[in-house]
Structure 1
């Protein structure tokens, strides 16, 4: 069985519920007026080597930095840093127990590669910050109310299995190290940040199977939306495929953790497992995005979540999403959202 990813072990849920980067010019660290105004250069995958290189035969090989990974390393500028030289910023503070903390020298982090733990530390910082920048680009925090503009703790390689999770009781994300280290795939990082987003909007979100499935689906949707926004729609892999690189350890090519464009239908395809059932909800979100475009779709999808209950049902959440579409963009957008959910059997 392939490994799964969970939001958090939420009380009441039986079992385990459990900007742009490419081509950014290198600039020296700066400390402008105000807190969290420092920047520093660093090296990341953008978003992962399978997407970037189109190579489905890449292998983890125990974190070996083989030559084929070379073209996937991308220089970026980390933003919103506190100026301490550590990976501490406005939206995330990185902690690792498996390697020394990454440290910037002279306004730049060393060009870490995947064979050292510091690479995942930099990846975690960059992609959480990028995800928050994406959300703000939609108007949240300016024309719309803020979404998850808090500093979370991101723990690298804290869990030995091939799994990652968000803990709402501590407001932190832990990234596992089984198989491909989860911190090497931006879409895994952003998926987990999606759980943080929903918890920031609705504390304790995801206490039932249906609400938990919505959480997993939104994490998958956000992962794809952010990676495409930051790096461009992938030309060498399928955009609807989530976490192409992380999934090489447990899937056959073409590698996908899950997909956003599946054909599952409610209720006959419900399996009582949040990741599997989430593919019903994520397909509806994907269809809204295809109908309205990324900006409108993501804006109304995120705005609607303010009206979710911690134990929301598919039907109630769909109704809230249609209402947000109508409120923000009018009847035609509401009709597109209604059709997306009706096509899945939810409305």
Structure 2
């Protein structure tokens, strides 16, 4: 489902120190135990630098962006030297496929197609690692532990979307290339998460709005977990860098998680707009319970959703998950969040 409104060397001090490559342990039979260094935005330059004046400039790599590049470790690779991993396989784009050189991916910048490929791999993998960090796949049942295809820069429009029938994500290249913003990548992975939990999820306006809201929520919490909560831009602002191409107000945001919309007064029948009602409830749950408890119960609740769930039914499922996992105090906090939005 689309994420819109249906939208130079690197300074040494700016580089994270990582090993160039890591081989599996001796005797390991884990195909996915390989790692390699790569260069990314963490998660995007507007958020990192607090500079709302940054522009796409037709994919140019200019000096103001240099401090935003980071060397990181790409994990769960298959060791082939390509961006093929346990949870995501990056498909060919308009340029050559990214490959390792001497065990590491070169330090490509945004003027190279391979930079977006590395970004896409890193942020999908980070999203799955976040879910596992919450206990999914260990203490709790696994969530979306499948390999999805990520198609980078194959779509010329300023849009991205998940296709459940093929379990793949396409990220577009209009304006700021969508894969340059980690929050756009993780938003789309949010749709894959829900589809993995409830195949075909999002068949109605309300369930579709929940899908868009969860994608926005996951985008923010994953990037804050991986990179640290932003201090120079609002944490609740989604896709600060990508949205510079289509917004004029500052701060640049695709959407926000801390809006004031309520149900049913602010329902307009468009999934992205209506999703801001649901995402604010999720945001309030996180503020009340903290990231780990909130995100765990929010994701766990989705196993009980129907493909065509309503706001009210999904809210009741979320309250039930809070009660089951953390008891009555958590359930009361979740109920209060949905009540404030007019959902319960």
TM-score in same-fold range (> 0.5): yes
**Shift in Å at residue 97 of structure 1?**
2.9
Is 2:215 the partner of 1:219?
Answer: yes
* Equivalent-residue separation in structure 2 for 1:272 and 1:110 (angstroms): 45
Contact 1:244 1:255 in 2 (8 A): yes
Please name the residue that 2:24 is paired with. Answer: 31
Q: How many residues align?
A: 333
* Equivalent-residue separation in structure 2 for 1:162 and 1:335 (angstroms): 41
Write out per-residue CA displacement over residues 170-227 of structure 1, whole angstroms, 9 at most, x where no aligned residue. 0000000111000000000000000000000000000000000000000000000000
Q: 2:315 aligns with which of 307, 315, 318?
A: 318
* Equivalent-residue separation in structure 1 for 2:317 and 2:16 (angstroms): 39
Q: 2:273 aligns with which of 262, 270, 276?
A: 276
**Shift in Å at residue 29 of structure 1?**
3.4
Please name the residue that 2:10 is paired with. Answer: none
* Equivalent-residue separation in structure 1 for 2:323 and 2:105 (angstroms): 46
**1:337 aligned counterpart, secondary structure:** helix
Q: Which runs of 5+ in 1 are unaligned?
A: 8-15
* Equivalent-residue separation in structure 2 for 1:255 and 1:96 (angstroms): 30
Please name the residue that 1:337 is paired with. Answer: 334
* Equivalent-residue separation in structure 1 for 2:306 and 2:4 (angstroms): 19
Q: TM-score, normalised by structure 1?
A: 0.94
Is 2:146 the partner of 1:150?
Answer: yes
Q: 1:248 aligns with which of 244, 264, 281?
A: 244
Contact 2:4 2:254 in 1 (8 A): no
* Equivalent-residue separation in structure 2 for 1:234 and 1:183 (angstroms): 19
* Equivalent-residue separation in structure 2 for 1:24 and 1:140 (angstroms): 29
Tell me whether 217-226 or 91-100 shows the greater mean CA deviation.
91-100
**2:226 aligned counterpart, secondary structure:** helix
* Equivalent-residue separation in structure 1 for 2:102 and 2:242 (angstroms): 32
Write out per-residue CA displacement over residues 215-247 of structure 1, whole angstroms, 9 at most, x where no aligned residue. 000000000000000011101100000000000
**1:62 aligned counterpart, secondary structure:** helix
Contact 1:29 1:108 in 2 (8 A): no
Runs of 4+ in 1 over 3 A off after TM superposition: none
Contact 1:163 1:182 in 2 (8 A): yes
**1:65 aligned counterpart, secondary structure:** coil
Q: 1:306 aligns with which of 283, 303, 307?
A: 303
* Equivalent-residue separation in structure 2 for 1:300 and 1:231 (angstroms): 22
Contact 1:6 1:216 in 2 (8 A): no
1:1-347 superposed matches below 5 A: 5=3, 23=16, 25-32=18-25, 33=28, 34-252=30-248, 253-347=250-344
**Shift in Å at residue 30 of structure 1?**
1.5
**2:110 aligned counterpart, secondary structure:** coil
**Shift in Å at residue 23 of structure 1?**
3.5
* Equivalent-residue separation in structure 1 for 2:99 and 2:341 (angstroms): 48
Tell me whether 33-42 or 181-190 shows the greater mean CA deviation.
33-42
Q: TM-score, normalised by structure 2?
A: 0.95
Contact 1:128 1:189 in 2 (8 A): yes
**1:78 aligned counterpart, secondary structure:** strand
* Equivalent-residue separation in structure 1 for 2:275 and 2:142 (angstroms): 26
Q: Which runs of 5+ in 2 are unaligned?
A: 8-14
* Equivalent-residue separation in structure 1 for 2:94 and 2:311 (angstroms): 40
Write out per-residue CA displacement over residues 114-158 of structure 1, whole angstroms, 9 at most, x where no aligned residue. 001000000000000000000000000000000000000000012
Contact 1:86 1:102 in 2 (8 A): yes
